[in-house]
Amino acid sequence: MTSASPLLSVSGLTVEFKTKRGTVIANNALSLTVDAGATLGIVGESGSGKSVLCRALLGLLPSPPAHVHAREIRFAGRDLASASAHDLRQVRGQDIAMVFQNPMSSLNPVWPIGDQIAEGLRVHRGFSRAQSRKAAIAVLKRVGIASPEIRVDDYPYQWSGGMMQRAVIAMAMVSEPKLLLADEPTTALDVTIQDQILSLLMELQRQTGMAIILVSHDMSVISETCDHVAVMYAGHIVETGRTADIFRRPAHPYTHGLLRSIPHVHGKATRLASIPGQPPDLAGLGLGCPFAERCAVASAECRERPIALAPVQGDHQTACFFPERVQELDRKRAS
Amino acid sequence: MSPIPTLAVDDVVVEFAKPRSLTDVMTGARPRAVRAVDGVSFAVYPGETLGLVGESGSGKSTIGRAILGLNRPVRGTISFEGEPIVARDKLRRRLQMVFQDPYSSLNPRLTIGAAIAEVLSFHKIVAKAEVPQEVRRLLSLVGLPGAMAERRPRELSGGQRQRAGLARALAVRPVFLVLDEPVAALDVSIQAQILNLLSDLRQELGLTMLFIAHELGVVRHMSDHIAVMYLGQIMETGPAKAIFEDPRHPYTRALLSAVPKMELTKRQRQPVTQGDIPSPLNIPTGCRFRTRCAMAQEICKTEPPQMTVGEGHMSRCHFSLQGRREP
């Protein structure tokens, strides 16, 4: 997206699961890039394939049942698509870190938090016990834990949900990663705690210049944290572009529908525009646009022609054949 | 405010006993209890929806469950249509609850149709011969095709399950619904469908509702009045418009500012609150919010007054009137 080569560039990433009911294509020929120091937001509803994408990037999907193939996964000049398990492990431990939704399931309940945070340093960098403890205290302080020199010996059950999510972020930050994958990092948290964690993530990004891929179902979270957005639906990226473009001039009916179905806290309360129907069964997906069944402006062509991202303007791309119809949706609603 | 409220909750306290450990018994420590709801009062008038909003541990679900008789208050009264609730048998036909995930409230072995028919026959809502017809009517009321009657809960999507749960609750033709986080588990596009359905049903059937949720946008969308809870107490209550446009309690303001605003610029600001929600076992003295409040002063260690700050608008803060816009 800039002239320098991006930190991460993925092209043609496809993830399939062989199931009894047929082949489920959870990620369908996805391409994306992330620049150093920038945030890419991946937004979509349950089952759209956002978490599978994160796990595929890190090589965390067990195969079978998953089949992952990609034309290219290039990270900081290295090709991850053909990397050995051992090399991937090195990258995971040092350059790419991940934060999951539920901090409780990322922490071992019977092991002190400090030890868990520093484990990576001992394994990957050969830190001694004293060194790693010192590093754990430093990173806990950085993520806003009060009196870290005492709390480093605590067990997870002694901490609240918000504190545990800070611990998980600390665990990710301790190796100073170039890329942080955050999969719904605030979904399990209360709104005031979510607010704290989002501020923390953005501040850490400013300080360290790490890139972030932030996966969320919540458009409002994306709006305050991301430079670029990729909207996922039924395993496809259906629209991608700069955050402001996506929010101000959505060029895909699904993005439009998502934005209009949010009940707002600020501004006027209006009747919500819901998207009719429900997401399709990924095992029985046909050739055409996966959103066609729920789309108010789809025509017969949409159900037959295979979709592909096409430019709208600049780096704003949509997989809709008729992006000009998206404006019609607002007029339709008004009347 | 002369009509009799459909539901009146008056000074209700709900406690959960904390199990005594062996050490407690040996040292003779007093048995301790978590006070999940501490002196909560509110009224819901016919046809109105009261939104109960708060973060985890605020006691909002406990109140909802107390109304249904699933938790027993240690103090206070809950009245339904002017009469304190004593026996619940007759109430079950008037008062129903919808839970967050009907997957855990619908019997997995019964088809949706059978689950609804069970309610219809038990309460003798319609004659036996008319049950299948009534099931279809209820399903269509919540926007489900009649064929869904043959399905089991696991064959339904989250949104469909929530519709089925709603149909079952509506089967007894209640006047009052307690909805406990009815859309929290749903995707946003499905959430909007259910919220619109609830608004329509409320109008069509003239339902009175207590709508419990943690998400402010959702609560605003559904409610005429709102009560904001924090650690077992109502911090602020009033008409929805007043709460969102002129909040008087610092906690309400913090909740509102913590919601991302879609400003489309990357966040640079500090978070609106510091620190964690205190444990309900260790509630701060005086104002419960003072440990996280930016306005807190010495006086906040004393019990804050419940100040009337407008028509039907109450705020439990020493500084409720500070910074008030002149009307």
Surface of A (146-165) touching B: CB under 8 A: 160-163
Walking along chain B (327 residues) 10 residues at a time, the average pLDDT comes out as 85 86 79 86 95 89 89 90 80 86 82 93 91 93 90 86 92 93 86 90 93 90 93 94 93 91 84 84 90 90 92 93 65
Smallest CA-to-CA distance from A236 within A4, A7, A12 is with A12
User: Measured between CA atoms, how close is B41 to chain A, in angstroms?
Assistant: 24
Two structure tokens written together for B80: 């339904």
E strand or H helix that includes residue A66: strand A66-69
User: Measured between CA atoms, how close is A123 to chain B, in angstroms?
Assistant: 33
Residues of A in contact with B218 (CB under 8 A): 263
Quick check: A201 and A170 in contact, CB under 8 A?
A: no
Residue type, A179: L
Q: What is the pLDDT of residues A139-163, one digit of tens each?
A: 998 888 888 888 899 999 888 888 8
Q: How many residue pairs from chains A and B have C-beta atoms closer than 8 A?
A: 141
Q: How many angstroms separate the CA atoms of A35 and B300, rounded?
A: 48
Smallest CA-to-CA distance from A184 within A93, A50, A37 is with A50
Nearest CB to A261; choose among B188, B214, B260: B188
A interface mutation test: which of B211, B262, B292 has the most A CBs within 10 A? B262
User: Measured between CA atoms, how close is A101 to chain B, in angstroms?
Assistant: 15
Q: How many angstroms separate the CA atoms of A195 and B255, rounded?
A: 9
Nearest CB to B55; choose among A191, A219, A269: A191
Q: How many other CB atoms sit within 10 Å of the CB of residue B124?
A: 9
The residue count for chain B: 327
Residues 6+ apart with CB under 8 A from A150: none
Smallest CA-to-CA distance from A172 within A70, A103, A274, A245 is with A103
With an 8 Å Cβ cutoff, are B273 and A196 in contact?
yes
Residues of A in contact with B260 (CB under 8 A): 198, 218, 220-221, 223-224
**Model pLDDT, residue B2:** 63
Quick check: B21 and B192 in contact, CB under 8 A?
A: no
ipTM for the predicted complex: 0.83
Q: What is the pLDDT of residues A83-94, one digit of tens each?
A: 888 888 888 878
Q: How many angstroms separate the CA atoms of B68 and A119, rounded?
A: 49
Quick check: B44 and B5 in contact, CB under 8 A?
A: yes
What pTM value is reported for the model?
0.87
Q: How many angstroms separate the CA atoms of A249 and B84, rounded?
A: 55
Two structure tokens written together for A19: 């199931």
With an 8 Å Cβ cutoff, are A160 and B196 in contact?
no
